[in-house]
Structure 1
């Protein structure tokens, strides 16, 4: 009998922690998205640096166009990742809050699944970054070994 009472006393305490995590997640989602939007705005409004001298068959105009397009592409990829992460983090926040306030375990479970998707996204991104670092390390070592 005491174990049942002890478990029922822990559930509101657990809900308080989930609710506070959901509130912080909402704030973090908005800060992340606003930071990404500010980065896009800064990328679009700042002047591009001067193009380097033409190299190996590329004219100065080609180099300028390559620099400009790569800057825009990387900025918009960053925005897409940020929007996707914002969606799952904000979804966790809203579903966890409504699940706890309405005593709906289905919404709470769905919210926690959204949090899991958020962490999967960042896990995949970190794996890709590590893989690119390893490839660049291997390329640097091979370039050094072959006299590059």
Structure 2
């Protein structure tokens, strides 16, 4: 891979489930619908869509929850990280964009379920912000050391 080639791997927070995409995602989108909000525990879901056969599980496999008659969602059975979304029988599998090792390489190009979009989104970039380590006293930094799997295969 060249330096400008995006990394086509990803996985869950604990590293029990890892995957590789055989091809870059064909579509990256945000979904603001209430079902996606509950599935990811956030204001929206972010998904990178591929052909199902282009998603190769390289470590472990997700467990699945049939969230509606039309859709299934995959998640890590060990840590619960939301990993996939698919419409049953579509031949497509979307991985959660945040589970990609290089999520910045795949910006969203469209939005779905906009009826659930929060009215304050336009104001988010105006919020006062601090870096995580700026609020942690140096003597406490070791307690905050991440236990999550690194953003690459191991």
Same fold (TM over 0.5): no
Q: Give the strand-richer structure, 1 or 2.
A: 2
After TM superposition, the score normalised by the length of structure 1 is: 0.22
Q: Give the helix-richer structure, 1 or 2.
A: 1
Q: Which has the higher contact order (CA 8 A, sep 6+)?
A: 2
After TM superposition, the score normalised by the length of structure 2 is: 0.21
Q: Which has the larger radius of gyration?
A: 1
